[in-house]
Amino acid sequence: MPDNLENKYNWHKVYASAEEAAQQVPLRKLQQLELNGKQICFAHTQTGFFAVEDACPHLGYSLSRGTTNYLNEVICPWHSHRFNLENGRECKYRSRNAVTYPVEVQEDGVYIGIPK
Residue 69: per-residue pLDDT: 97
Sequence ranges of the domains in the chain: 3-115
**What is the rounded CA–CA span in Å between residue 66 and residue 82?**
10
Three-class HEC string of 52-109: EECECCCCCCEHHHCEECCCCEEECCCCCCEEECCCCCECCCCCCCCCEECEEEECCE
CATH class of the domain comprising 3-115:
mainly beta
Q: What is the pLDDT along the chain (116 residues), one digit of tens a residue?
A: 555 556 799 999 999 999 999 999 999 999 999 998 999 999 999 999 999 999 999 999 999 999 999 999 999 999 999 999 999 999 999 999 999 999 999 999 999 999 99
Q: What's the pTM value of the predicted model, to 2 decimals?
A: 0.93
Report in angstroms the alpha-carbon separations of 9 from 22, 28, 56, 68.
24, 26, 22, 26
